[in-house]
Amino acid sequence: MGRVVTDPSEVAKAISSAPPRPPCARVLMAAPEHFSVESAINPWMHDAQGNLNQVDRARAQAQWEALADAYRRIGVKVDIIDAPAGLPDFCFSANQSLTCLDRNGQPLAIMSRMASPTRFNEVTYFRDWYAQRDFRVMESPPGLRAFEGTGDAIRHHGRHVFWGGVGPRTMAQAWEFVGEATGADVIPLTLVDERYYHLDTCLAIMGPDTALYIEEAFDEDSRKRLQTGFTQLIAVDPHDAGNFACNAHCPDDRHVLIQHGSRVAGTLREAGFEVLELDTSEFMKSGGSVFCLKQELP
């Protein structure tokens, strides 16, 4: 059974002693056919006057296709789930579930409990998608009020360990449950800034030793855990924080898919990464970018 590791001095050991995990070779994306901004459930969804952002759906579709193509170009297989009408945030397929291989090597899908009523019904469609394939589907326990899947559960690279966000979308209790269900240790990180409402808005893992993060998004204990977990922990500047640079995705320790214009792209290239800059501006109007638009499949 996986433990919840809170003591910073135990983080490095928890990671190095965890079972190995292969790189990400397959993702699940949800078409943005019905994507829109209809109510503001995070601070990025409205302007300074409080007016809801307006999405250009044709542009969103083109940006989404360019992201899917980028995955295919770097050798990541893309599966697609059809989008039902009436669920404007459905395309953020990081959030409705968490998948991994279970102890017997069988694909496991743990279903989320969405924090906002406007997103509750999304989970049903993902549950059906997994159930129709060879996934074992597991529900979140009844008493768990909020758990938003890989919006808050970020896999360490190379090891079967999760970093777990604790904030507006996921309760701390989720991590005991995830540890038990997956057998992996979970290192919790407390989110303290409402702009960074999911862990994937403020932490992007690039490799076993390397990650990007937004310093002010975390409390002090959490920063200590991050510092002991990554020897190369890169704090992004305010420009990049607002540009969703920390919602980048690196599937394979080599290619980085990141929002266009992120300054940290230069630092990553110098460190040897192949950086693909993409435009996700329509999705940023809803508070998301690259990482939220896919679910890593085992």
Contact 112, 97 (CB under 8 A): yes
Q: Would you count residue 30 as binding ligand ARG (CB under 6 A)? A: no
Contact 183, 148 (CB under 8 A): no
Q: Would you count residue 201 as binding ligand ARG (CB under 6 A)? A: yes
Name the segment binding ligand ARG (CB under 6 A); options: 50-58, 215-223, 258-266, 283-291.
Answer: 283-291
Q: Which of 151, 168, 179, 229 lies at the binding interface for ligand ARG (CB under 6 A)?
A: 151
- Pick the closer one to ligand ARG by CB: 201 or 243: 201
Phi-psi region of 274 (alpha: psi -120 to 50; beta: other; left: phi over 0): beta
Q: Would you count residue 32 as binding ligand ARG (CB under 6 A)? A: no
Name the segment binding ligand ARG (CB under 6 A); options: 178-186, 187-195, 204-212, 285-293.
Answer: 285-293
Contact 9, 276 (CB under 8 A): no
d(CA 135, CA 288): 27
List b or e across 118-155, with b for residues whose CB sees 16 or more CB atoms inside 10 angstroms. ebeebbebbbebbeeeebebbebeeebebbbbbbbbbb
Segments in the chain forming alpha helices (H): 8-16, 57-73, 122-131, 173-182, 220-229, 238-242, 264-270, 281-284
d(CA 245, CA 262): 6
Q: Which of 288, 290, 294, 295 lies at the binding interface for ligand ARG (CB under 6 A)?
A: 288
Q: Would you count residue 130 as binding ligand ARG (CB under 6 A)? A: no
3-state secondary structure 99-112: EEECCCCCEEEEEC
Would residue 157 show up in a list of annotated catalytic residues for this protein? no
Q: Would you count residue 287 as binding ligand ARG (CB under 6 A)? A: yes
**Footprint on residues 213-272 left by ligand ARG (CB under 6 A):** none
Q: Which of 109, 191, 241, 292 lies at the binding interface for ligand ARG (CB under 6 A)?
A: 292
The least distance separating ligand ARG from the CB of residue 9, rounded to whole angstroms, comes to: 30
Q: Which of 93, 95, 170, 262 lies at the binding interface for ligand ARG (CB under 6 A)?
A: 95
Q: Would you count residue 42 as binding ligand ARG (CB under 6 A)? A: yes
Would residue 34 show up in a list of annotated catalytic residues for this protein? no
- Pick the closer one to ligand ARG by CB: 251 or 288: 288
99 Cβ contact list (under 8 Å, min separation 6): 107, 108, 109, 110, 130, 135, 295, 296, 297, 298
Name the segment binding ligand ARG (CB under 6 A); options: 50-58, 134-142, 196-204, 232-240.
Answer: 196-204
- Which of 24, 246, 250, 292 is catalytic? The answer is 292
Q: Other CB atoms closer than 10 Å to residue 111's CB: what's the count?
A: 19
Q: Which of 18, 30, 63, 89 lies at the binding interface for ligand ARG (CB under 6 A)?
A: 89
d(CA 181, CA 8): 23
- Which of 198, 202, 246, 255 is catalytic? The answer is 198
Contact 240, 262 (CB under 8 A): yes
d(CA 180, CA 190): 20
Q: Would you count residue 295 as binding ligand ARG (CB under 6 A)? A: no
Q: Would you count residue 41 as binding ligand ARG (CB under 6 A)? A: yes
Contact footprint for ligand ARG (CB under 6 A): 41-42, 89, 92, 94-95, 151, 198, 200-201, 286-288, 292
Q: Which residues are catalytic?
A: 198, 292
